[in-house]
Structure 1
Amino acid sequence: MSHSTKTNSISCPVCSREFQQELIEEHVNKCLFLNTPEQSGCKRDSPFHKKNSSHIEKRIKLDSCTSQQQQKDTPTIAAANKLQKSVETKSVPLAETLRPVSLNDIVGHKEAFGPGTMLYSMLEQRKVPNMILWGPPGCGKTSLANVVSHMCKESKNMRFVKLSATMAGINDVKEIVKVAKNEAQFKRQTILFMDEIHRFNKLQQDTFLPHVENGTITLIGATTENPSFSLNNALLSRCRVIVMQKLSVDDVLLILKKAIQINKEIIIAEKDISKGNHSEDAIPRVIITQESLQWLAEVCDGDARIALGALELTIASRNTQQDVCKEGPAVISLEDIQQGIKRTHMLYDRKGEEHYNIISALHKSIRASDDNAALYWITRALSGGEDPLYIARRLIRMACEDIGLADPNALVEAVACLQGCQNIGMPECDVLLVQCAVRLARAEKSREVYCAMKQCQRFIQETKGPLPPVPLHLRNAPTKLMKQLGYGDGYNLLEKDKSGLTYMPSGLEDINFFKNNT
């Protein structure tokens, strides 16, 4: 090698080999990553190589093993992913698929958050207030939360977190609050949706108070129970209660038709039609009659989730049994729907709001002498699973409160009804309860004793100072000392007008609780 060549050459700091100046940079890059043929000729005594060779060799071996394992497992992983996607697609219930994503997609509840309401205007402006959604199952509480969730996804300044009180605890709420405080530093508001919030006890509900008050989180709670009984007053004062009623028959019918519009292989017919009325290129898989949908909307008791679940189950059953190519489309008639669902889901909570509503309606119907309404309400309570002994005890109360002395035998019969229910139980005792309710509704009514009792109670509560003592002549005198003190002096067994005695405390002789007490 000439002297000029040696002068222009530079030694590689990795392998110590000499290269020309214009080639040294390219060689060093290759040598560092061990990707060129020069690797075999590099010197093992290089300080840089001694420091990094073992780590690089281990990495190369690990990468090669991983790649070989991935090539071996690729078919299995691909199949698993495909199966998982298939399961996820098939396992999503129809009710979940139909969740609305905008306010205009929500069916019903026009008075609560329909167009023109304050809540509708606030949500349109991306302002979410603290609120408690109170309503029966399947009325759309979670659907409204789903709309808020999509609003948060479209906004950069809002994030949505969903929890269920059936599975989450205090620690989960604390973690969300911790993250919410960090997000607040970047001006991002956290919306926390707590489903079944009434399952948190009063102590657990206190966890929300400081964070809702200072704005760290915006709380949306969903409950099927009366918030007045199941939630803290302090929490209620910080949230607006949105009352959501059952969906009407027309609302449920509209939801069912939306579900069918998603699947183009299902059509709705006004009545049963023959399977041969369609061309070969446009044969649907399922034909469902309008009469079937109407009956399903009427029997689901305003619960859209039950209606959609029954529809999905019936269609799936007919779909698996029918070969469209050979037999034509499957026709779902009213009988098919009726076989798949019965009215076994009637809303009735033996310890909740509906429990008190039904028994109140029964009491007021008997008081008004409406035997037909009394029959309806007591039958509805029994159909919902109400305790027959509870109803019998309430009938005894009604016999005293509203019938009273106008027909004293009503109380005797009500007590006999309770004893009969205790002896024979359900379902045989249902006729006893119904007969007693109708008998009380038809009886003569007198609230004289009840109203006098209430007036007396009110008088005693409003008395200022100590209550007046019992007159001496009305006191019992079992001992000699009591007789010496005047206990029982002058007492006789004559009637009030003949005895010459007063039986009210001193100063209250002219008080009569039976006057003007209606």
Structure 2
Amino acid sequence: MSELTKRTSCPICNKDFPIEDIENHANRCIFLNCPDEDPQKRKRSPSPIFQVSQAKTSLLHKSPRHSSGKFIERTENLLETVSCSSNSEVTFKPNLSFIVPLAKQVQPKSLNEFLGQNQILGKDSVLRDLLEKAEIPNMILWGPPGCGKTSLSGIISEICKSNPKKLRFASLCAASAGVKDVQNIITVSQNEMKFGRKTVLFMDEIHAFNKRQQDTMLLSVEKGEIILVGATTENPSFSINSALLSRCRVIVLDKLDSDTLYEILKQAAIKFNLKVIKKVNSGKLSGQSCLSIENEALKWLADVSDGDARIALNNLQLVIQHNKDGGDVINIDDIKEGMKKSHMLYDRKGEEHYNLISAMHKSIRGSDENAALYWTTRMIVSGEDPRFIARRLVRAASEDIGNADPNALQLAVSTMQGCQLLGMPEADVLLAQCAIYLARAPKSREADTALARAKALITDHKGPQPAVPMHIRNAPTKLMKELGYSKLQKGAEFLFMPPEYKQVDFFK
């Protein structure tokens, strides 16, 4: 065979090489960007990741010459068919990047990809039906962080892109935007209205706008110049202008449960080229060369994320980044130390602040010491000010226990003083002791109920309030005594209550 027939040209650099070395060179030329060398000086077996079947190699050699871009694309398609269960050592190559947070990369693009919140987006729900028809209402999305508010806005954005003649999407974040940004969008939307095109304005963190700033959107929402979709973690009743709130539908999104978070993590793992497997006995799986993660590890990540999908996905990304260089199997033990449960939904100025303290107080009132201790501990772990908890315990001691056990009030006051002296973390046991004692103590709401009746009597009285009877008035001077202060008149009835209320009994 002649020398010419023993050589062939590289489709990348167009240089001639012996047939037996062309695959070696092509791999280096395409993927490793190495400078050309004499093939006789670098004879070695190709890297395992580039070992393809003989049929694919033949196809590669027999393919006609074409541009390097097309060749790379075709070769990459061939390499995708290489089995992940090969015995060779394969470096983990994620389908997604580490530059953008994983939570952003795997956001759903359609309603069918959206997981969770079936109460508002389930089959035959009103909101889902409207979105499928591209009829987007004015609404405020209210829910805890990571429950899907931003993901739902991304789906609405895709709906607008699918209906460009009908809808236009604009997005702002109230934490960084100002009134001028809103006015600019409104100006554009007014022009778009002339052509029958509505503008959907997604305002993230809308509670960051004060009431006056929110007023800038009121008239445009009223006229239909913009369709407002707001997102907030705060109670709209307190944070959204009542006039604007009356023109929007409040959509309540719940905290995601662990099963939903697991499905979200599983889908993200698959998109990230991470293989989800069942539990194995050791850190290595026989014949396994791709990075894998156990089902139980994903479930653990879901459980420690407190219903926040963003936290769960960020934790998964950290796990992948830490293990991306090998073919190990990630199990629970591998990630527990690096992923401590530290995320707790709590906001000292938000609704959850009052929800938890209310839960503690009502548990004490209901004599459930387990619940009282649980809610008290939740606030302690979340970083609540111990003095705030102690003040509520003092109130509970008087309001719910009262004279049934006077020692309860003394203990609560002592607890508050102890918290001021010790501070955290030493004061935690004081709060726990007091909460348990109050929950177990006998209950009497007599004082609180009687107080409420007395307040109602005074508030509902028509005309001026009754005068204090003369015989129970203070008489510090001679003149006042001469006027009849602190003296019962002859024939008068001795009363401590005003005569108008002599028959009143607050305790019946």
TM-score strictly above 0.5: yes
Structure 1 residues 145-165: Cα deviation after superposition (integer angstroms, max 9, x where no partner): 000000000102111011111
Structure 2 equivalent of residue 149 of structure 1: 157
Pair 1:94-2:102 in alignment: yes
Amino acid at match of 2:319: T
* Aligned residue in 2 for 1:210: 219
Q: Distance in 1 between matches of 2:459 and 2:273?
A: 71
Look up the equivalent residue of 1:308 and give its one-letter code. L
Q: Does the 8 Å contact 2:200/2:228 carry over to 1?
A: yes
Distance 2:274 2:422 in 1: 53
Q: CA RMSD in A?
A: 1.8
Q: 1:179 aligns with which of 185, 188, 196?
A: 188
Whether contact under 8 Å (1:166, 1:199) holds in the other structure is yes
- Paired residue secondary structure (1:501): coil
Structure 1 position 453, deviation (Å): 0.5
State the match for 2:139 in structure 1.
131
User: CA offsets, 1:18-55, max 9 Å, x none?
Assistant: xxxxxxxxxxxxxxxxxxxxxxxxxxxxxxxxxxxxxx
Which residue pairs with 1:464 in the alignment?
462
Pairing of 1:94-493 with structure 2 (within 5 A):
94-155=102-163, 156-272=165-281, 275=284, 277-278=286-287, 283-320=288-325, 322=326, 329-490=327-488
Q: 1:488 to 1:171 in 2, by over 3 A?
A: same
Alpha-carbon distance, 1:284 to partner: 4.1
Q: Distance in 2 between matches of 1:478 and 1:101?
A: 81
Contact 2:115–2:264 (CA<8 Å) still a contact in 1? yes
Query: What do residues 378-408 of structure 1 show as CA deviations (whole Å, max 9, x unaligned)?
Result: 0001111111000001100000000000000
* Aligned counterpart for 2:505 among listed residues 509, 512, 517: 512
Q: Which amino acid counterpart does residue 272 of structure 2 have in structure 1?
A: N
Q: Quick check: 2:121–2:128 contact (8 Å CA) kept in 1?
A: yes
Asked if the contact 1:158–1:190 (Cα under 8 Å) also holds between the matched residues in 2, the reply is yes
Shift of 1:274: 6.0
| Cα distance between partner residues in 2 of 1:362 and 1:274 | 44
Report how far residue 333 of structure 1 moved: 1.1
CA distance in 2, matches of 1:260, 1:104: 18
Code of the residue aligned with 1:109 in structure 2: it is Q
1:297 offset after TM fit, Å? 0.9
SS of the residue corresponding to residue 514 of structure 1 reads coil
Could you tell which deviates more after superposition, 286-295 or 144-153? 286-295
CA drift of 1:265 comes to 4.8
SS state of the match for residue 145, structure 1? Answer: helix
Q: Secondary structure at the match of 2:251?
A: strand
- Residues 338-396 of structure 1 show CA distances to partners (whole Å, capped at 9, x for unaligned) of 12211211101111111111011100110111111111000001111111000001100
Alpha carbons 1:406, 1:446 under 8 Å: kept = yes
Given that 1:366 and 1:440 are in contact with CA atoms closer than 8 Å, whether structure 2 keeps it comes out as yes
Q: CA deviation at 1:246?
A: 0.6
Please state whether the residue corresponding to 1:91 is helix, strand or coil.
coil
Distance in 2, Cα, partners of 1:352 & 1:248: 22
Tell me how far 1:507 sits from its aligned partner: 2.0
Length, aligned pairs only: 412
The CA deviation at 1:273 is 5.1
Contact residue 285 and residue 329 of structure 2 kept, 8 A: no
- For 2:158, the aligned partner's letter is H
C-alpha deviations, 1:106-126, integer Å up to 9, x for none?
Answer: 111111122211111111111
Distance 1:276 1:132 in 2: 48
| AA aligned opposite 1:125 | K
Instruction: Provide the rounded CA distance (Å) in 2 between the counterparts of 1:217 and 1:271.
Output: 55
Q: Which residue identity is paired with 1:438?
A: I
Contact kept in structure 2, 1:107 and 1:255, CA below 8 Å: yes
Give the Cα–Cα distance (whole angstroms) in 2 for the partners of residues 90 and 455 of structure 1: 64
Identity %: 55
**Contact map agreement 2:474 2:486 (CA 8 A) in 1:** yes
CA–CA distance in 2 between the matches of 1:138 and 1:460? 48
Letter of the structure 2 residue corresponding to residue 247 of structure 1: L
Where 1:507 maps in the other structure, the secondary structure is helix
- Higher RCO structure (Cα 8 Å, ≥6 apart): 2
**1:503 pairs with 2:496:** yes
1:491-515 per-residue CA deviation (whole Å, 9 max, x = no partner) reads 9xxxxxxx96210101211111011
Per-residue CA deviation, residues 183-242 of structure 1 (Å, 9 max, x unaligned), is 111111100001011111111111110011111100000001111111111111011100
Max Rg structure: 1
Structure 1 Cα separation of the partners of residues 355 and 440 of structure 2: 22
- Comparing both structures, which one devotes a greater share of its residues to helix? 1
- For the 8 Å contact 2:255–2:308, the answer to whether it is kept is yes
Q: Deviations over 1:68-120 (max 9, x none)?
A: xxxxxxxxxxxxxxxxxx9x954122111111111121111111122211111
Q: Deviations over 1:437-492 (max 9, x none)?
A: 0011111111111100001111111112221111111111223332232211129x
- C-alpha deviation, 1:277, in angstroms: 2.1
Distance 2:208 2:273 in 1: 41
Contact 2:276 2:295 in 1 (8 A): no
Distance 1:502 1:115, change over 3 A: same
Tell me: CA distance 1:481–1:118, structure 2 relative to 1, closer, same or farther (3 Å): same
Residue ranges of structure 1 left out of the alignment (5+ in a row): 1-85, 323-328, 492-498
AA at the equivalent of 2:321: A
The CA distance in 1 between the partners of 2:285 and 2:127, in whole Å, is 51
Task: Please report how far the alpha carbon of residue 270 of structure 1 lies from its aligned counterpart in structure 2 after TM superposition.
Answer: 3.2
